[in-house]
Amino acid sequence: MTIPARFTEPADTTVEAPPKAKRKAAVRREVGRSIPRLESHAKVDGSAEYIYHLRLPGMLQGKICRSTVPHGRIVRIDASAALAIEGVHAVITGEDIRTLIPDPYYGPAFHDQPILAIGKVRYVGEPVAVVLAADLHVAEEAADQVVVEYEPLEPVFDEVAATKPGAPIIHDSLRPAGMFPDLQYLKGRSGTNVALDARVLHGDVEKGFAEADQVFENVFRSRKVVHATFEPTVSLAELNGSNGLTIHTSSQSPSYVRAEVSRLLGWPENRVRVRTAFLGGSFGAKLYIKLEALVAACALLVRKPVRIGLTMEEEFYTITKHGATVRIKTGMAKDGRIVAREVETWWNGGAYADIGPRVSQKSGFTAAGPYDIENVSLINYAVYTNDPPAGALRGFGISQIVWAYECQNDIIARSLGIDPLEFRRRNILHDGRPHATGTIMTNAEIDEVLDRLSDRMHWDVLFDHGSGPVRRGRGLAIGFKACIAPTTSVAVVNVYGDGSCCVSCSTVDMGQGSDTAMAQIAAETLGISTETVRVIHPDTDVTPYDMATLGSRSTYHMGNAVRLAAEDARAQLLRIAAATLQTDIEELEYRDGAVISRSGARMTMRGLMLARFGMQAGTVIGMGTFTPPYTKPDPRTGQSPQITPYWMLAGAAAEIEVDTETGRIRVTKLVNVGDVGCAINPAIAKRQLNGAGTMQLGFTLFEEMRFNEGQVINASLADYKIPGMLDVPEDLSAELVEFPHEHGPFGAKGVGETGMFSVSPAIANALCDAIGVRIMELPLTPERVLRAIRESENRPLESE
Amino acid sequence: MTIPARFTEPADTTVEAPPKAKRKAAVRREVGRSIPRLESHAKVDGSAEYIYHLRLPGMLQGKICRSTVPHGRIVRIDASAALAIEGVHAVITGEDIRTLIPDPYYGPAFHDQPILAIGKVRYVGEPVAVVLAADLHVAEEAADQVVVEYEPLEPVFDEVAATKPGAPIIHDSLRPAGMFPDLQYLKGRSGTNVALDARVLHGDVEKGFAEADQVFENVFRSRKVVHATFEPTVSLAELNGSNGLTIHTSSQSPSYVRAEVSRLLGWPENRVRVRTAFLGGSFGAKLYIKLEALVAACALLVRKPVRIGLTMEEEFYTITKHGATVRIKTGMAKDGRIVAREVETWWNGGAYADIGPRVSQKSGFTAAGPYDIENVSLINYAVYTNDPPAGALRGFGISQIVWAYECQNDIIARSLGIDPLEFRRRNILHDGRPHATGTIMTNAEIDEVLDRLSDRMHWDVLFDHGSGPVRRGRGLAIGFKACIAPTTSVAVVNVYGDGSCCVSCSTVDMGQGSDTAMAQIAAETLGISTETVRVIHPDTDVTPYDMATLGSRSTYHMGNAVRLAAEDARAQLLRIAAATLQTDIEELEYRDGAVISRSGARMTMRGLMLARFGMQAGTVIGMGTFTPPYTKPDPRTGQSPQITPYWMLAGAAAEIEVDTETGRIRVTKLVNVGDVGCAINPAIAKRQLNGAGTMQLGFTLFEEMRFNEGQVINASLADYKIPGMLDVPEDLSAELVEFPHEHGPFGAKGVGETGMFSVSPAIANALCDAIGVRIMELPLTPERVLRAIRESENRPLESE
């Protein structure tokens, strides 16, 4: 659907973009300051609040009993031994939950996931029962004593195999979530593991290939990885009065949790209160429903507060990043221009859809890359398998896609003898040109990103590839992402009786610095110091709606809402001043947290509040609502004139050393360049790029969930390695490209995911540059590199 | 100061009052419904939240060491024995607090009360030190071991004696609170125990007395009583991040607590968060600062959460109702009309002013009664003594004043041979006539109150006074009160994504039913069912400012703010409908929670939200701010054209039996009639009248704090009797007079205190009617009645 334009703030959506040269930032005091995060001190002294630490009086701890088979029917659950253990309060099963919630299936895209398994399990680790006890150790001991008997069913793990005829079917039929009209056509579809088959058609791809001078086709794969947040997932639920429920949860999406738990219970939203605190990292792991429905149901069943906090091992069984198989076929013209591209992607969504279909759809429509290609066909399959569910992970599928197209672009460039950077310059999608989705590209500084990469890498200078067993290489890659649409953010800025103020919004600060950014935006608008602004954390009873903290949308969406709310508060303060000074509002100017009249009279915010309320009293409540315009894609072509509020553009370049005797890659230099529009806080924005770059470095070099018949065999941080300080490149840097986005708050765009996009292909391209081998599958483990070297030398590894 | 009219919603203040006949209520669905209180179920099943039950992880419990002398210098505090007890974390003294807060004196009217005594103590029970321990029993044991040595000073307890030359001076000099400009002239005044000497002069009282045909002069006294709430006073403080503080407190005034604690700490308000829950009764006891500054200081000193909850005994040492001595002199004309009245009142404020000076001033200016008197002089002394502090108690001093003037009116009527009811009718202050303060009386249905009393009591029917040892009598009284001014209330009505909604305000539901009233007002305005509205409890971070829940102001002030907020939300929903239906807003009507167009299209609140935000998303935030107009009194005359937003009028009548052999009074019938404007919830309003009537019955018949050299000798509910079921009159009833107030929300005025005013004189007048004796001092204990009987018979009690 199209959101009527009148609902959107005119200042944000209807202003014509001025020429770039004019879109330089005005003089600002707070926006653009690289101040430390507001909560830095509290995080160091231990006073910062995390839900994992929360204990409620009288609460029970829950321990989840999990499926031991990847696919099977539940024949029997015997909790008698568990219940016999002293201190065990209850053992809850899916059938118990059904007494409270007749249809206990949840999910943001499909209502496919039971709160606890009912009748069937679909992956190893699926929650089957919960043991509740006041003492967590008792609950853990008892959980081991719950006996579940399964009748095994044939599993399927590979995302391509799962789409083939004859593959075991994991869900009887599809149940799209009611909130998405565009998915309703799938309702009741059966006999398939493909939850969504999303296509974008642009031009005539067959004709393009026919006219191409050369066609390249490759398949790229990436494996499942996990978010590995330091604070594990945790939720607590308690009764709130006689007919309400409060959920304390480590969630990126409190507003969604409220709506979904309300829907499950059949309650209006105002009876469910969801509050969050700081998150100890999330990266997409703590989105939508994770433990919230389960603790809510348990608390209502036993009429006591219930807490469930996962162990790190359980995180591996809760949500993962999609493994993906990408077949990419590209038609080239002699002049090095891409004339046709077809990308077919199989997304391994695991046993439950979570937001996977949206991942496949929304990252899928960018699968041709930020390139100007006349003929494009993009096909994305969101596939059910018997792996743990896959959902959002920083980048929302983009890094799997960029991995494919930027590796292939390098293959093509090398094959055609074109410098990889020049190859990309030649094909870039410039502002004003239509993207494959039909949306015109705007505010996309990809040229500048390439220029900065070139500068930083001294691309024009001859590069020493080394000799001997350790070889050196360099590579680069670019990528882009659309921001999620359509979504809304609402913010409130309260000015208190003494003129101090707060920002009240439902954006979750999970380490990305959103509190600080929102405070800077409010402070800039109100002309006060950022450090004096207080940011109130999400509590759905009182902080207004926000779609969720995801997809790098907060700075743009909530930032705009906060800016509008602060402007509203400022306008109210001006009206108070006009009334108090008995003057026209036009005679007044708001400057540096005060109103100044032409006659020189000055009223501070405190003074204005005193004037308005006659004492230190009252609240001036500024409100801001931001919903950028969006047009629903044509279901036949997947095209839309306005598919995203903005594009995130980024590039990465790497210099590496490869030990050809061990296969080990050492990244010596990593540069991440991101088009951020305007950095509200440059230091934080750079840390986002470097943090994302380092995270993707782990996914590139060694992170990989390893499975044995659906069982994760490295489900611990001892066996699943994430980057440590020694893995960080000596020369790690980030660079911000800042051309203010015409509709961003002070020109800002999101940056949380930007640094993820291009790291993997940059390193793989550098590997090829160093030793001439091309690896098509992530991660680039020493074993895989060594195998590729041996294969290239026609002497395979002994193990094979 | 005068609040400029433009700051106030025009609908509330500028509309001319229509003739009374037209001011009948419109057809309403929610307002006027006698639904049970929304939290009834939660209170019965135990799920309602009270702060007294709150425990914070890692918290310390505090036990207060209290002064054992009524007036003295602190020579030495020796905490060594206490600190030697295992488990004692710290002993905090006033000097420790000074290291954190250099000037740790607080108070709503005067900054006279130290958080812990510094140098001096001024009453028995004054907090001198606090012992902190994880275990409350350890803290209690240790508190007994803290040795404090005092150098005694001469005390003074009587409020009249304390004003005489040569009386011991309790405070060196006066320190009026900065927030009240009108008190600043007192700053630094020394050598007096009179904190405030408030006068109202109207006409020429000397001339009035000179022209009177007869002059009556009497002195009436009432003794100190206590609030006796079921939930004792409790506060907890914890650090909030590295530079903030959260206070959970049983308080009627969260907004004030935030402002005052911020002032003490020298912090902006946005660093202090104050939240409250249901109160288990309060009646004025939990206003302003009680334990909040103490727990805040302790938590900051020890960097841990600190809880202090009082015992019932400690309540007697924390806040009380003023004892008062009232000298009332009335000049009468032959025709039974009052021509002059002089009232001089000494208010026993105890050792610290708390809100006492405002009690003396604001109830004091009504001391001539709701009568039309040409010449009036009202003098009120707020007096420091060495009793525990006195503050607000349901009625804010009015019952002490009505006690005097309504007893005297009866004396005069009897003396002049005029029926008491007729006497009052003859002197009533009718609408349109100026009150002693100069404010014109409006919306005051005192005639109607008298008519209803007359009807209910069958006043015209001959009354059987009985014979033998048990005699019967009947009496009545009327009284009135001004509502506090100037004050502000702010409310928010949030409409959530599914169309459900909440009212967010800082009014504290302490049993009076404010949650239900606010929900009814919002529901009426939005055309939905009250039971679907959720009311969010005060949390100063997010619920907007309210002056406090006191003085029967919530229904009028916050009720108006909620109505305005709901109207604002409704207007926004209408605009959404107009945009969605592409029609003019004038074509639309809001009815029954939906928008209906002339063409018959109907959009529910849920549908409107979906239309606006494109999915179940967003928040429509309605705001309302209400500050009724007020004009500061002339400091010379105490007169003001607008001293109160409205008057509360009430009358009570009683039938009693007196056992002349024991002196025991049994109230057999008690009627309370209150002018409530419009009852938002008639059942609750009636319960307010009956509850207040029963409370005042206790104060009338037996409640009295008894002292021995400043020590309360009946500080327990075993020794200090409050009314039980057997004390409730068999025939207890309340009647509501409902002429909608022109500016009240749906015509409503406050009612929380109304039932207190007239009960004591009605009973005393009935006593005189029964046996011809007149008692001038409350309570009317059997001993006092018997003594009066014996004195009237010239045979004093043996004990004398």
Q: What CATH number does residue A260 fall under?
A: 3.90.1170.50
Query: Is there a contact between A370 and A302 (Cβ–Cβ < 8 Å)?
Result: no
Cis peptide before B486 (omega within 30 of 0): yes
Residue ending a domain, among A234, A268, A303, is: A303
Which stretches of A718-779 are DSSP H helices?
759-771
B241–A contact, CB cutoff 8 A: yes
A190 in helix, strand or coil? Answer: strand
pLDDT, position B657: 98
The answer on A573 and A594 residing in a single domain is: yes
Which of B615, B626, B627, B642 would best serve as a mutation to test chain A binding (most A beta carbons within 10 A)?
B615
What average pLDDT does this structure show over B161-174? Answer: 97
Average pLDDT, chain B: 94
In the prediction, which pLDDT does B798 show? 59
pLDDT tens, residue by residue, A486-502: 899 999 999 999 999 99
Residues of A annotated as part of the active site: 753
Q: Which pLDDT score, from 0 to 100, does residue A82 have?
A: 98
The mean pLDDT of B312-337, rounded to a whole number, is 97
Residues of A in contact with B3 (CB under 8 A): 614
State whether residue A514 sits within 8 Å of chain B by CB.
Answer: no
What does the pLDDT average to over B683-691?
Answer: 97
Q: Is B1 on the interface with A (CB under 8 A)?
A: yes
Among residues B303, B329, B349, the one where a domain terminates is: B303
Return the H-helix or E-strand segment holding B539: none
Question: CB count, 10 Å around CB of B436?
Answer: 29
Helical residues (DSSP H) of B36-78, grouped into ranges? 40-45
Query: Quick one: which of A343, A401, A340, A398 has its CA closest to A372?
Result: A340
Task: Enter the tokens of residue A248.
Answer: 């304390």
pLDDT in tens, A130-150: 999 999 999 999 999 999 999
Identify which of A428, A348, A355 has the alpha carbon closest to the alpha carbon of residue A391.
A355
A123 and A265 together in one domain: yes
pLDDT in tens, A679-733: 999 999 999 999 999 999 999 999 999 999 999 999 999 999 999 999 999 999 9
Kindly report the average pLDDT of chain A as a whole number: 94
SS (H, E, C) A313-345: HHHCCCCEECEEEEEEEEEECCCCCEEEEEEEE
Closest CA to A547 of B108, B517, B616: B616
pLDDT value at A25 more than 80: no
Coarse DSSP helix, strand, coil percentages of chain A, rounded to the nearest 5 percent: 30, 25, 45
Indicate whether B94 belongs to any domain: yes
Q: What count of residues does chain B have?
A: 800
Residue at B533 is within a domain: yes
The C-alpha of A74 sits at a distance from chain B's nearest C-alpha, in angstroms, of: 35
To probe the interface with A, which of B484, B582, B619 has the most A CB atoms within 10 Å?
Answer: B619
Partner residue opposite B542 with nearest CB, options A4, A45, A536: A536
Q: Which residues of A touch B487 (CB under 8 A)?
A: 617
Residues A520 and A544 in one domain: yes
Q: For position B495, which CATH number holds?
A: 3.30.365.10
Q: Are residues B598 and B643 in the same domain?
A: no
Question: Is the backbone of residue B746 left (phi > 0), alpha (psi -120 to 50) or beta?
Answer: left
Residue A333 falls inside a structural domain? yes
Only one residue has tokens 């950014």, namely A517
Contact B492 A532 (CB under 8 A): no
Residue A558: both structure tokens together: 């909530």
Closest CA to A560 of A749, A689, A737, A738: A749
On the question of a cis peptide bond just before residue B388, with omega within 30 degrees of 0, the verdict is: no
Confidence of residue A797 (pLDDT cuts 50, 70, 90): low
Contact (CB, 8 A) for A365 and A638? yes
Which residue shows structure tokens 């009237």? B792
Give the mean model confidence (pLDDT) for residues B628-657.
95
CA–CA separation, B188 vs B91, rounded Å?
33
Contacts of B612 in chain A (CB under 8 A): 7
Contact A204, A211 (CB under 8 A): no
Final residue in a domain of this structure, among A626, A652, A678: A626
CB distance from A600 to chain B under 8 Å? no
Q: Which residue among B47, B179, B621 sits closest to A242, beta carbon to beta carbon?
A: B47
DSSP states along A252-321: S-HHHHHHHHHHHHT--GGGEEEE--B-S--TTTT-S-SSHHHHHHHHHHHTS-EEEE--HHHHTTT-EE
Instruction: Kindly provide the residue ranges of all beta strands, DSSP E only, lying in B571-694, ordered along the sequence.
Output: 588-591, 594-597, 602-604, 620-626, 647-659, 665-675
The three state secondary structure string of B544-566 is CCECCCCCCCHHHHHHHHHHHHH
Residue B789, H or E segment: helix B782-792
Residue B337's identity, in one-letter code, is R
pLDDT tens digits, one per residue of A504-517: 999 999 999 999 99
B9 pLDDT exceeds 50? no
- pLDDT tier at A795 (50, 70, 90 boundaries)? confident
pLDDT reading at B4 higher than 70: no
Show residues of chain A in contact with B542, CB under 8 Å.
494, 504, 536, 539, 542-543
Check whether residue A383 and residue A328 sit in a common domain: yes
- What share of chain A has pLDDT > 70, as a percent? 96
Is residue B797 classed exposed, middle or buried when 0-12, 13-18 and 19+ CB atoms within 10 A define those classes?
A: middle
Rounded CA separation A635/B770 (Å): 91
Domain enclosing residue A504, as ranges: 487-626
pLDDT at position A409 is 98
Q: What is the ipTM of this complex?
A: 0.92
CA–CA distance, B283 with A118 (Å, rounded to integer): 54
* Three-class secondary structure of residue A17 per DSSP: coil
**A608 and A648 housed in the same domain:** no
CA distance, residue A629 to nearest chain B CA (Å): 11
Domain annotation covers residue A119: yes
Res. B32: pLDDT tops 70:
yes
Kindly state whether B254 is in contact with chain A, defined as any CB-CB distance less than 8 angstroms.
Answer: no
Q: Rounded to an integer, what distance in angstroms lies between the CA atom of residue B360 and that of residue B196? A: 8
CB A527 within 8 A of CB A593: yes
Element (H, E) at B130: strand B127-133
Helix (H) or strand (E) holding B297: helix B292-302
Is A231 a member of any domain? no
Helices marked H in A128-253: 136-145, 205-211
Euclidean distance between CA atoms A348 and A356, whole angstroms = 9
| Mean pLDDT value of segment A212-220 | 98
Does A622 lie in the same domain as A640? no
Helix (H) or strand (E) holding B400: helix B398-416
- Residue among A183, A307, A615 with most chain B CBs within 10 A, to mutate: A615
Query: Distance between CA atoms of A223 and A705, rounded to whole angstroms?
Result: 7
Beta strand spans in A351-408 (E): 375-383, 390-391
Count structural domains, chain A: 3
A121 closest CA partner among A173, A177, A73, A155: A73
pLDDT of residue B5: 36
Q: Which of A475, A348, A441, A338 is nearest to A400 (CA)?
A: A348
Q: Which of B652, B658, B632, B654 minimizes the C-alpha distance to B643?
A: B632
Averaged pLDDT, B323-329: 98
Q: Looking at the predicted structure, is the pLDDT value of residue A1 above 70? A: no
B599: closest CA of chain A, how far (Å): 21
Q: How far is B127 from chain A (nearest CA, A)?
A: 28
Q: Does pLDDT of A21 surpass 90?
A: no
- Tokens 């025009």 locate to B10
Q: Among partner residues B544, B619, B623, which is closest to A545 by beta-carbon distance?
A: B619
What's the mean pLDDT in A226-234?
Answer: 97
Q: Does the pLDDT value for residue A9 go beyond 70? A: no
pLDDT in tens, B73-120: 999 999 999 999 999 999 999 999 999 999 999 999 999 999 999 999
Confidence at residue A22, expressed as pLDDT on a 0 to 100 scale: 45
Instruction: Give yes or no for residue A660 having a pLDDT over 80.
Output: yes
User: Is there a contact between A619 and B4 if contact means CB atoms under 8 Å apart?
Assistant: no
A619·B490 Cβ contact <8 A:
yes
Residues 148-187 of A with CB under 8 A from B: 179-180
Judge if A347 and A455 occupy the same domain: yes
Nearest by CB to B47, which of A241, A490, A532?
Answer: A241
Q: How confident is the model at residue B443 (pLDDT cuts 50, 70, 90)?
A: confident
CA distance A296 to A548: 20
Do the chains contact at A501 and B542, CB–CB below 8 Å?
no
- Among partner residues B492, B500, B618, which is closest to A621 by beta-carbon distance? B492
Chain B residues with beta carbon closer than 8 angstroms to that of A497: 255, 259, 269, 545
B693 and B769, same domain (yes or no):
yes
- B351 lies in a domain? yes
Question: Taking CA B157 as the corner, what is the angle to CA B155 and CA B162, rounded to the nearest 5 degrees?
Answer: 85
Instruction: Note whether residue B293 is domain-resident.
Output: yes
Between the CA of residue A521 and those of A28, A297, A533, A566, what are the distances in Å?
Answer: 10, 39, 10, 8
Please state, in angstroms and rounded to a whole number, the distance separating the CA atoms of residues B788 and B775.
Answer: 7
Q: What is the pLDDT of residues B216-275, one digit of tens each?
A: 999 999 999 999 999 999 999 999 988 999 999 999 999 999 999 999 999 999 999 999
pLDDT at residue number A4:
38
* Six token digits for residue A366: 């960018």
Q: What is the rounded distance in angstroms from the CA atom of residue A145 to the CA atom of residue A81?
A: 6
Contact (Cβ atoms closer than 8 angstroms) between residue A639 and residue A200: yes
- The pair of structure tokens assigned to B750 is 């406050």
**Hey, of B37, B496, B582, which one would you mutate to test binding to chain A, going by the most A CBs within 10 A of its CB?**
B496
User: Which of A55, A544, A616 lies nearest to residue B179, judging by beta carbons?
Assistant: A616
d(CA B693, CA B687): 9
Where is average pLDDT lowest: A177-186, B402-411, B514-523?
A177-186
Please classify residue B708 by burial: count the beta carbons closer than 10 Å to its beta carbon, then call 0-12 exposed, 13-18 middle and 19+ buried: exposed
Does residue B792 surpass a pLDDT of 70? yes
**Residue B505, exposed/middle/buried by CB under 10 A (0-12, 13-18, 19+)?**
buried
Structure tokens at A464: 């020493």
Write out chain B residues lying below 8 Å of A545, CB-based.
496-497, 613, 617-619
Find the CB nearest A618 among B579, B625, B630. Answer: B625
Q: How many helices (H) and strands (E) does chain A have?
A: 19, 32
Both B639 and B661 in a single domain? yes
Q: How far is B31 from chain A (nearest CA, A)?
A: 21
Residue A290 forms part of a structural domain: yes
Instruction: Tell me, yes or no, whether B709 and B756 share the same domain.
Output: yes
Residues B580, A616: C-beta atoms closer than 8 Å = no
CA distance A724 to chain B (A): 28
Same domain membership, residue A784 and residue A638: yes
Hey, which residues of B are catalytic here?
753
